[in-house]
Amino acid sequence: MSVRLKLTLSYAGFVMLAGVLLLTAVWVSLLEYVPDDWDRRMLYENPNRQLLLRTFAPAAAAVMAFLLLFGLLGGWFLAGRVLAPLSRITDATRLATNGSLSHRIRLPGRKDEFRELADAFDTMLARLEAHVAEQQRFAANASHELRTPLAISKSLIDVARADPDPDTGKLMDRLHAVNTRAIDLTEALLLLSRAEQRSFTREPVDLSLLAEEATETLLPLAEKHGVSIETSGDVAPTNGSQALLLQLTMNLLHNAIVHNLPERGTVWVMTRVRPETVVLTVENTSEELTPQLISTLTEPFRRGTERIHTDHAGVGLGLAIVKTITQAHDGTLTLTPRPTGGIRIAVELPATAPRAEDR
């Protein structure tokens, strides 16, 4: 039984019940003014209850038949009008099920429960369409990046097989570099998937300690690039995965070192505490960047305005991983250009009370 039929029967039943109650009230009122005694010879001459019953019963039956018909037809019409928006929402749901995420309901009329439901459904479809498009773009880029090292390895092996006197040492070095890059890319993709699924255990973490650990780890890389690292800040307690937040800090610091001035560059790593949040900030010196350019830096496999090349030291997922880890920890990521050149990246996470040993 459809909802429209249920509403129709409910409306008709309500109308019939109201008619019965009304006729009963009229009948009871009339009985007060009609005598109960009667004489068969005077049946059609004086008013009495038997004569009233014979007159009232057919009229009441006709009224009830009319109310039944009116209740069914009126209920069917009103139920159709009320459920019309639901039919549009159902049609949109079927289209979305078949893969059409671009369709929108855009329900007109006043803002009622159905309008709120339709608007919420349109918002969900818009977010889902954007998410699917992003996933498709990411999958296409990832497949390309994973295929490239395999193609390079195959080419190197084919060249070595065709060369009667190949340089085995050089070939092994190049194959090792290509395979290392493929492994790094695969691990980055796994880390990105783990962060997106939030499949990690939360524990107390101090961002200032992670900043110090990342600085010590990447100090040789900074010295190799002629970059100095300056750290400052206070204890910044939060809750989350220590491994993921350390990876976040390492990615930020690595990105700041690699994309820096050729000589005498500087990286600043700072932690500070706000009333309800803690902030990890990483700044570097570099060429001037536009806001339009910075808005693309967190996209996977992007570096500035161009896609990364396979010979780059990174795999193009550094800031994309930072963004995903930040969102998985209910935080916000902010990228702003520095007036004198370079970029300022701030990760803001919910704060927790510091542990006793950190005070």
Set out the domains of the chain in order of their start, with CATH numbers: 3-100 (no CATH), 115-196 (1.10.287), 203-358 (3.30.565.10)
* Residue-wise burial string across 207-243, b where 16 or more C-beta atoms lie within 10 A, e elsewhere: bbbbbbebbeebeeebeebebebebebeebbbebbbe
314 confidence band (pLDDT: 50, 70, 90): low
Q: What is the pLDDT of residue 37?
A: 56
Assigned token pair, 320 = 């994309």
pLDDT tens string 63-120: 889 888 988 898 888 888 878 888 888 888 888 888 778 878 888 877 788 888 888 8
* Residue-wise burial string across 150-174, b where 16 or more C-beta atoms lie within 10 A, e elsewhere: eebeeebeeebeeeeeeeeeeeeee
Instruction: Find residue 266's DSSP bridge partners.
Output: 228
36 confidence band (pLDDT: 50, 70, 90): low
Assigned token pair, 211 = 């900043």
Please, what is the average pLDDT of the chain? 81
**For residue 229, pLDDT beyond 90:** yes
42 confidence band (pLDDT: 50, 70, 90): very low
Q: What is the pLDDT of residue 278?
A: 95
- What's the predicted TM-score (pTM) here? 0.57
**For residue 214, pLDDT beyond 80:** yes
Q: What is the pLDDT of residue 313?
A: 45
Q: What is the pLDDT of residue 305?
A: 40
Q: What is the pLDDT of residue 306?
A: 43
Q: What is the pLDDT of residue 151?
A: 77
Q: What is the pLDDT of residue 206?
A: 93
pLDDT tens string 10-26: 888 888 898 889 888 88
> What number of residues does the chain have?
359
Higher pLDDT, 36 or 10: 10
Instruction: Please name which of 340, 344, 324, 320 lies closest in space to residue 332, comparing C-alpha atoms.
Output: 324
What average pLDDT does range 341-358 have in this prediction? 81
**For residue 329, pLDDT beyond 70:** yes
Higher pLDDT, 273 or 184: 273
pLDDT tens string 110-157: 778 888 888 888 888 888 888 787 777 767 666 766 776 777 788 878
309 confidence band (pLDDT: 50, 70, 90): very low
- Could you give the CA distance from residue 82 to residue 76 in angstroms, rounded to a whole number? 10
What average pLDDT does range 256-273 have in this prediction? 91
* Residue-wise burial string across 37-67, b where 16 or more C-beta atoms lie within 10 A, e elsewhere: eeeeeeeeeeebeebeeeeeeeebeeeeeeb
311 confidence band (pLDDT: 50, 70, 90): very low
The residues, ordered by sequence, that sit 6+ positions from 272 with a Cβ below 8 Å of its Cβ are: 233, 234, 236, 278, 279, 281
Question: Residue 99 burial (CB < 10 Å; 0-12/13-18/19+)?
Answer: exposed
